[in-house]
A and B are shown apart, each in its own frame.
Chain A
Amino acid sequence: MSARDTIFARLKGDAPSKAEADALLIAPERPRVDEAALEAEFLARLALPSISATHDVIDDMAQLPAAVARYLESQNEALTLCMPPDPRLVACDWQGFTLHDRAAPDEAAAIAVARRGIAESGSLIFETGPTAPMLPNFLALHHIVLLRVDDIMPYLEDAPLPGVQPRAHYWITGVSGTTDIEGTYVRGAHGPRFLHVLLLRQ
């Protein structure tokens, strides 16, 4: 008998009823979010010490390169950026920047577009795809994220996007941190040490 058969032989039982599984999800306990002030709620969480992200606001996509330049210069970083082939990003005028789309092992800065922002936790939601690689967002020291204000949703239940699940769906709620030595918090354990969100109001 295969291991699979052995295991299933011991797990015979009724199939679960969908209604029973759904009933477990009615009115979940979760942090309160003022749904009339999602942007403020989201930004308040971003500023918490556990996340410590900075942010800037832009009114349209044309302002994006200047906002990125402002941030990198404030961090004494060169205008060198790992940028995925996302058409919204590629369409901007990046004059003055050195761009590339494959992250180097010691990448200084990478930009990405978040699919959602979650007010409950200050999370940024990403999905992989042909124009959205995953690795640069974990390699770069500075992680710069573009998020449309309209994409801010109240709860984590709003994170999954409709349609076919991508290869990877991931939530980023802060920077790479560790408390593995004496419980002391250190930023930039393996990945980003800085997280900067550019909110697009358009």
Chain B
Amino acid sequence: MSGFKDRADLALADRILKVAVERTAGTAEAKRAVAVDAFPDFEAARDRAAAIKDHVVAHLGAYLEQFEASATAAGAKVHWASTADEACRIVIDICKAAGAKSVARSKSMLGEEIGLPHALAEAGIGRVETDLAEHIIQLADERPSHIIWPAMHKTREQVSALFKAKHRSPHAEETIAAMAESARRELRTQMLGADVGISGANFLIADTGAVCTVTNEGNAELSLVPPRVHIVTAGIEKIVPSMPHAIHMLRMLARSATGAALTQYTTFYTGPKRAGDRDGPEEMHIVLVDNGRTKMREEGLAEMLRCIRCGACMNHCVVFRQIGGHAYGGTYPGPMGAVLTPVFDGLKESRELANACTLNGKCQEVCPVRIPLPTLLRGWREKSWREGLEPTSMRAGLSLWAWVATRPRLYRLGTGMAVRAMRMLGRKGWIDKLPLVGGWTRYRDMPKPAARTFMAQYKKERRS
């Protein structure tokens, strides 16, 4: 795979991508603002949401034990996986034991994180992605580019072409409604005929053993009720103590994600079908996945375990809005992805993500659980420096800067000369080409600096 900079270059050069990302993220930003304004004291609600998650993370072991006991009492079978591979193996074994030829999958970022689509394909098990966006990217053989709108990088024209090539009876009319109808026809029989339904979990309720999923399409329910077996894959941090705690988090989730007060469908599944029930699976399996979460808790990333995967941070991120999700290269894009990807893929491979951040703090301002994302990103930058992962040119450059910066007279002399040189390159207030930083000025202009440096102006003011 190419590096982050190459992927970002490609993304920046893609005009269609920019339009597609802007349409969805822009709408999400506007709708969230309306929803938050209408909510009484959203700031206090964010404090509470953060406190609930911190409480859970502090007592994670005890809550997981409680959840395991409650879910087991309700008839579910709880499995544990330390790694992504282990989690996939458990899911594949359950599918094989059930004689499954096809699974219906309801969108789950944890499933993407552990590589479940790939594992199912390797095992020869057919997979039907039932979320409309996941269906689109399955047909296109791509990865999600956003955690709420996985196909946000696709324009309607691209989706139309895809459905016409792959659907059995595609739409005739070029409208988004007709395209959605085409997917409805295509997916319905496949969902009803699946042997196993696989979902993630938005929340796991410790005291009842319930698994909560939220969707706007109702595809989770249509994927999970008809098959004989329901498998849940969930990160261990998804626990909340009780239903009222989940309710507070649900109020925060939908408003932060889409600007809605609530998603259309919110379901709490507690165990398999009961005696006398007219539908529901005969087996329910819950695979609880660590995959680096206990390590995050121990190594200064506990706050990241608050994340409820709403996507607000990326919708409001100036970098994400320019390059979209694929450029990040990991399962999770945007600011939360830049914090999480080094955990899953290693800092050496993904250290550039922490640098692809302006530290403007917008992500932290909108995060419903107040994750200090810029601080966590700075933490990765520092670790990368300490471990010697930054390239020699960067280390030499920064060392030189540090040497000059600790010699104020030299520093002022240098900046004074730089300002004069930069002003000579500027036209109409902007500099469109600058030696040594061509990569920066290729996509944007730099404002022409003031005639004198801040220190020069400050000294002049003090004298007068």
Contacts and interface: CB of A to CB of B under 8 A. Distances in A.
A189 B20 contact: no
Chain A binding surface, main DSSP class: loop
A181 B280 contact: no
Interface residues of A, number: 68
B221 interface: yes
B283 interface: no
27 contacts: A3-B80, A6-B82, A10-B295, A11-B60, A13-B59, A13-B61, A13-B62, A24-B48, A29-B44, A30-B251, A106-B188, A121-B261, A121-B262, A123-B262, A128-B277, A130-B276, A139-B222, A168-B269, A169-B210, A169-B270, A172-B265, A173-B266, A178-B216, A182-B23, A182-B176, A184-B156, A188-B181
Interface stretch (B50-58, B91-99, B324-332, B333-341): B50-58
Interface stretch (B240-248, B375-383, B417-425): B240-248
Interface in A1-34: 2-4, 6-8, 10-16, 20-21, 24-25, 28-32
B264 A21 contact: no
A84 B218 CA distance: 20
B130 interface: yes
B266 A24 contact: no
A13 B360 CA distance: 36
A186 interface: yes
Given A50-B260, A180-B149, A189-B216, A28 B294 contact: no
B277 A170 contact: no
Contact of B247 (A3, A16, A157, A168): A157
B271 A167 contact: yes
A191 B210 CA distance: 23
Given A3-B86, A133-B278, A167-B271, A138 B218 contact: yes
Given A16-B63, A29-B40, A50-B261, 5 more contacts: A8-B65, A25-B248, A129-B277, A132-B278, A183-B24
A6 to B, nearest CB: 5
A128 B242 CA distance: 20
Given A167-B274, A181-B180, A190-B188, A16 B149 contact: no
B67 to A, nearest CB: 12
B216 A176 contact: yes
Contact of A21 (B81, B222, B241): B241
A117 interface: no
A184 B174 CA distance: 14
Contacts of A190: 130, 132, 184, 187-188, 191, 217-219, 222
Given A13-B60, A129-B276, A189-B216, A3 B82 contact: yes
A202 interface: no
Nearest to A189: B217
A9 to B, nearest CB: 9
A156 B131 CA distance: 26
B140 interface: no
A189 B241 contact: no
Contacts of B210: 165, 169
B248 A173 contact: no
Given A7-B236, A191-B217, A177 B280 contact: no
B41 interface: yes
B403 interface: no
B295 to A, nearest CB: 8
Contacts, number: 249
A192 B188 CA distance: 12
A28 B248 contact: yes
B225 to A, nearest CB: 5
B69 interface: no
A171 interface: yes
Given A12-B61, A138-B222, A21 B55 contact: yes
B381 to A, nearest CB: 26
A170 B82 contact: no
A174 B248 CA distance: 20
A175 to B, nearest CB: 7
Interface string A65-91: 000000000000000000010000000
A29 B45 contact: yes
Contacts of B266: 123, 170-171, 173
A170 B217 contact: no
B232 interface: no
B151 A191 contact: no
Interface in B222-268: 222, 225-226, 236, 241-245, 247-248, 250-251, 258, 260-268
B277 A175 contact: no
A25 B244 contact: yes
B133 interface: yes
A61 B42 CA distance: 42
B61 A11 contact: yes
Contact of B245 (A25, A84, A179): A25
B281 to A, nearest CB: 9
Contacts of A183: 23-24, 27-28, 149, 152
Contacts of B267: 168-171
A170 B274 contact: no
Contacts of B268: 165, 168-170
Contacts of B23: 182-183
A18 to B, nearest CB: 9
A115 B377 CA distance: 46
Contact of A3 (B81, B151, B295): B81
Given A130-B277, A170-B265, A190-B188, A181 B179 contact: yes
A162 B224 CA distance: 25
